[in-house]
Amino acid sequence: MNFDDTPQEAAFRAEARKWIDANAPKEFEAELTKAPLGRISLKHADIVEVGKAWQKKKAEGGWACLHWPKDYGGRGATPIEKVIWQQEEGIYGKLTSPFQIGEGMCGPTVMAFGSEEHKRHFLPKLASGENIWCQLFSEPAGGSDVAGLRTRAEKDGDGWIVNGQKIWTSGAHYSDYGLLITRTDPNVPKHKGLTMFFLDMKSEGVEVKPIKQANGMQEFNEVFFTNVRIPDSQRLGAVGDGWNVSLTTLMNERMSIGARLATGFPEIFEFCSNLMTEDGLAIDDRATRSKLAKWAVQASGLKYTSHRAVSALSKGERPGPENSIGKLVAGSMMQDIAAYAMDLEGAAGVFNDPAVAEAGGQFQAMLLSSPSMRIAGGTDEILRNIIAERVLGLPGDIRVDKDVPFNKIPTKGRG
């Protein structure tokens, strides 16, 4: 048992470090280091443009989408090399967030189901950041129940006409292409009538509207489709096979291995170490210490769970299911930590003006943004179902809509 690289891994790390040292946009180092959890912006530059420049440089140097084949813009690297790259890229990895959905979900789906011509045309541009891709799955009527989606695609000559609405689309406003799942047959049970496409986001009839979130920010979009035409050549997989295609997209979870999940623990530990209350330093209070210790072992537990998965990759093995606990643990932790930090501040915990609030208002911001961590990318409840069914082998829930034609499934609760 050790934390050391193998000789090959050490050589790869040294090469990556050297390249990053010579090429990273160091002018943004300080700002990126200080960037708060979750969201970032730069004072004097557009984060997407800076990200694109970094991604392009990486692609030219052979460091973009490392685990992809060289023909499609990657490096043909092993999974462990990708993890090492992420570790070395460090804060500059924050610049890659606009490309992550493309790299992690859209790209692998095109790779699995696209034509050779499409792969050679689209994937290198995705890898180099020239094109940004988004994923158009969730709908107002289909969040956790993705297969309940209602956006229609109807055959029209050698193409399809799409009408409907998607929601919670990250980056739709700056994306060039989208991976779109639609309903092509409402007369069969819901999982059977779906078909996957990709489309140019500049197509006529595509309208992107930002969503104002509960925390006042705008990070997601609604996307409306009005008679949008998509050529049949942009279909991925067979007509009616969209559900299986979407599983490929959603199963590409290995990309998250080795990524550090924000939990809020380092922040509250530092906060409690310095906050003076009427009874002395917060960290000297027994109840506070007990809470901190519980969060500390959750944070270290996540860290070492990730190390176990990385070790499996290092040995060329498939990581076990342990990594599935990450977001489930981190989401609640962050919400609880934010609320407790504010409680420690007493009445003044209500302020969230950074100039007035304790700790620059970071816990107030965390409180308001943390509900999304427990929802986005699979709600806590869906994640528990996944652990119970795929890890523990418990039976799936009884699905009352399983064999019912989609257009016969009730759409309203009361009345």
Partner 1 sequence: MNFDFSDDQKQLRDQARRFLAEKCPPKAVRAVLEGNADYDRELWKGLAEMGFLGVAIPEEFGGAGAGHLELCVIAEEIGRALAPVPFASTVYLAAEALMLAGSEAQKRKWLPAISSGEAIGTLALFEGTGNPSPQAIKLVASNGTLTGVKKPVPDGAIADFAIVAARTGSSGRETDISLFLVDLKAGGVEAKALQNVDPSRQQAELTFKNCKAEPLGPANEGWSILSRVLDRAAVLIAFEQVGGSDRALEMGRDYALDRIAFGRPIGSFQAVKHLLADMYVSATLARSNCYYGAWALSTNASELPEAAAAARISATQAFQHCSKNNIQVHGGMGFTWEFDCHLYYRRSNALALSLGSLSYWEDTLIDRMRKKNAA
Is residue 217 close enough to count as binding partner 1 by CB under 8 A? no
Cα separation values, 376 from 106, 182, 213, 331, 373, Å:
17, 21, 13, 10, 6
Site string for partner 1, 365-384 (x = CB under 8 A): ----------------x-xx
Per annotation, catalytic residue among 49, 253, 345, 389 = 253
Smallest gap from Cβ 240 to partner 1, in A, equals 28
Q: Which is nearer to partner 1, 290 or 411 (CB)?
A: 290
Site string for partner 1, 259-278 (x = CB under 8 A): ----------x---x-----
Q: Which is nearer to partner 1, 173 or 289 (CB)?
A: 289
CB 26 within 8 Å of CB 92? no
Rg (alpha carbons) of the chain, rounded to whole number: 23
Is residue 399 close enough to count as binding partner 1 by CB under 8 A? no
Is residue 156 close enough to count as binding partner 1 by CB under 8 A? no
Is residue 280 close enough to count as binding partner 1 by CB under 8 A? no
CB 186 within 8 Å of CB 405? yes
**Exposure b/e, 17-38, CB count within 10 A at least 16 = b:** bebbeeebeeebeebbeebebb
Q: Which is nearer to partner 1, 64 or 313 (CB)?
A: 313
Is residue 256 close enough to count as binding partner 1 by CB under 8 A? no
Smallest gap from Cβ 189 to partner 1, in A, equals 20
Q: Which is nearer to partner 1, 27 or 389 (CB)?
A: 389
Smallest gap from Cβ 116 to partner 1, in A, equals 37
Give the separation between CA 95 and CA 50, rounded to whole angstroms. 7
Tell the residue number behind the tokens 């009839």, with chain if given: 205
Q: Which is nearer to partner 1, 70 or 294 (CB)?
A: 294
Q: What is the DSSP string of 346-378?
A: GGGGG---TTTSGGGGHHHHHHHHHHHHTTTTS
- Identify which of 193, 199, 326 has the alpha carbon closest to the alpha carbon of residue 258: 326
CB 86 within 8 Å of CB 258? yes
Q: Which is nearer to partner 1, 216 or 395 (CB)?
A: 395
In 232-369, DSSP assigns E strands to: 235-236, 276-277, 280-281
Smallest gap from Cβ 114 to partner 1, in A, equals 34
Residues 2-41 that bind partner 1 (CB under 8 A): 2-5, 9
Q: Which of 393, 410, 413, 415 binds partner 1 (CB under 8 A)?
A: 393
Smallest gap from Cβ 64 to partner 1, in A, equals 24
Q: Which is nearer to partner 1, 23 or 385 (CB)?
A: 385
| Cβ neighbour number for residue 155 with a 10 Å cutoff | 12
What is the dihedral sign for C-alpha 327, 332, 335, 341?
A: negative
Residues contacting residue 10 through CB under 8 Å, at least 6 positions apart: 4
The count of residues interacting with partner 1 (CB under 8 A) is: 50
Residues contacting residue 203 through CB under 8 Å, at least 6 positions apart: 228, 229, 230
Q: Which of 215, 298, 362, 369 binds partner 1 (CB under 8 A)?
A: 298
Segment contacting partner 1 (CB under 8 A): 23-31, 92-100, 286-294, 341-349?
Answer: 286-294
Would you call 253 a catalytic residue per the annotation?
yes
Q: Which of 116, 158, 397, 403 binds partner 1 (CB under 8 A)?
A: 397
Give the separation between CA 110 and CA 127, rounded to whole angstroms. 12
Is residue 322 close enough to count as binding partner 1 by CB under 8 A? yes
SS3 48: helix
Is residue 50 close enough to count as binding partner 1 by CB under 8 A? no
| Cβ neighbour number for residue 216 with a 10 Å cutoff | 9
SS3 342: helix
Is residue 297 close enough to count as binding partner 1 by CB under 8 A? yes
CB 236 within 8 Å of CB 110? yes
CA triple 346-332-293, angle to 5 deg: 70
Is residue 398 close enough to count as binding partner 1 by CB under 8 A? yes
Q: Which of 7, 395, 410, 413 binds partner 1 (CB under 8 A)?
A: 395
Smallest gap from Cβ 293 to partner 1, in A, equals 3
Q: Which is nearer to partner 1, 29 or 284 (CB)?
A: 284
SS3 145: coil
Which residues would be at the binding site for partner 1 (CB under 8 A)? 1-5, 9, 269, 273, 283, 286, 289-290, 292-294, 296-298, 300-305, 307-308, 310-312, 314-315, 322, 325, 328-329, 381, 383-385, 387-389, 391-398
Catalytic residue set = 253
